[in-house]
Amino acid sequence: METTERVEREDASEEKSKLDPNLETTLYKCRERDETNRSFSCFDMSDNDGRWTSSSSSKWPTLHDAALEVLSTPNARDKARLTKAAGKAWLETGAIPTARDSSSTAKKTPRRPARDDAIRIVASNSNELKLGNGRSVESRRKILHALSHIESWAIDLSWDIIARFGEEMKDEREFFDDFVRVAVDEAKHHLLLSERLEEIGGKYGDYPAHDGLWQSAIETSDSLTHRLVVEHCVHEARGLDVMPNTINKFRENGDEASALLLENVVYPEEIGHVKAGLKWFRFLLGDASERGSEETVKTFREIVEKKFYGTLKPPFNDDARAKAGFDKRYYEGAIGNKSRHSR
């Protein structure tokens, strides 16, 4: 049968519809052209402008293999492209048939993901990381850059939890589905934020950044419950706390396009990421209650005190947290590991 496939660049339909008509941000999509042949879209890794090409089968025998390839890819944009391709192959076409196979255990997850030298890493308390109040274009570029960088690390975190803890969760298809969806969201956010940064005269790599998120990942690499609490609940929820003020910085200074990108795409999807983290933490504790038992909350707070090297300080975005099922019992008055705050 002759298969007709077409590669095209088009405005991101669902995300674009939520944004200001004047916003020029685009995503790259490729449509399935032949359902019978099960052809599906993936990023052409040799194409620097981010177009998608089509392939009739997945190059990954397992989701674990896809995760390791993303983690081993040094360029952030390429990580995002691979993530979109793997997400489609796992969630939509079934081209990746299984999460793991008998060879997966021998394929070790790297302690740190590959990273190129596009970003200069500095200490998390460096004055170089000050973003400003958004009044200048330079300040707004720095804010977008910082957000894009966080999203690039979030891509790696999503794949790391799949690879590192996949054996423990091998019978839970929904676990893999949830964190592949999170990874795809983070990839989309990174690409959109990077494009918006370019639209206002910057580019990813223009400013230094820190790698605090991966330091937390290393500290929680031996426990899935610890990883879910610290990375996918505490750190993700902190993003919800600061998002309204970040949106206002753009809006009050005339950058409505950036404000709408955060408000209508990034912000609501990040709520779902916190929800996923809390959902699987409760699962591991055998807690099927709607809000989490008092014992679950107690365990959560104990992990924060032991493994979160920072402070949980207000203001908290209680409304957004509540939408994720993350009520005040989990975080109000919680204290991190003070002995490590100076790191």
Per-residue pLDDT tens, the chain, 343 aa: give them: 333 333 233 333 344 444 544 443 333 332 232 222 222 233 333 333 333 333 435 799 999 999 999 999 999 999 999 999 999 999 999 999 999 999 999 999 999 999 999 889 888 888 888 998 999 999 999 999 999 999 999 999 999 999 999 999 999 999 999 999 999 999 999 999 999 999 999 999 999 888 888 989 999 999 999 999 999 999 999 999 999 999 999 999 999 999 999 999 999 999 999 999 999 999 999 999 988 999 999 999 999 999 998 778 899 999 999 999 999 999 998 888 865 443 3
Per the domain annotation, does 35 fall within a domain?
Answer: yes
Per the domain annotation, does 1 fall within a domain?
Answer: no
Q: How far apart, in whole angstroms, are the C-alpha atoms of residue 115 and residue 75?
A: 6
Q: How far apart, in whole angstroms, are the C-alpha atoms of residue 156 and residue 30?
A: 24
Q: How far apart, in whole angstroms, are the C-alpha atoms of residue 157 and residue 183?
A: 8
Per the domain annotation, does 71 fall within a domain?
Answer: yes
Residue 203 Cα to chain centre, angstroms:
19
Name the residue among 208, 229, 210 with its Cα closest to residue 220.
Answer: 229
Name the residue among 135, 246, 231, 230 with its Cα closest to residue 193.
Answer: 246
Q: How far apart, in whole angstroms, are the C-alpha atoms of residue 107 and residue 203?
A: 35
Report CA torsion sign: 209, 212, 218, 220: negative
Per the domain annotation, does 2 fall within a domain?
Answer: no
Which pLDDT belongs to residue 187? 98
pLDDT, tens digit (0-9, with 9 covering 90-100), for 291-312 = 899 999 999 999 999 999 877 8
In terms of residue numbers, what domain contains 154? 8-340
Q: How far apart, in whole angstroms, are the C-alpha atoms of residue 174 and residue 131?
A: 38
The residue count of the chain comes to 343
Q: How far apart, in whole angstroms, are the C-alpha atoms of residue 190 and residue 179?
A: 16
pLDDT, tens digit (0-9, with 9 covering 90-100), for 49-74 = 333 333 435 799 999 999 999 999 99
Structural domain count, the chain: 1
Q: How far apart, in whole angstroms, are the C-alpha atoms of residue 309 and residue 261?
A: 31
Report CA torsion sign: 240, 246, 153, 156: positive
pTM of the model: 0.83
Q: Read off the CATH number of the domain in which 200 is found.
A: 1.20.1260.10
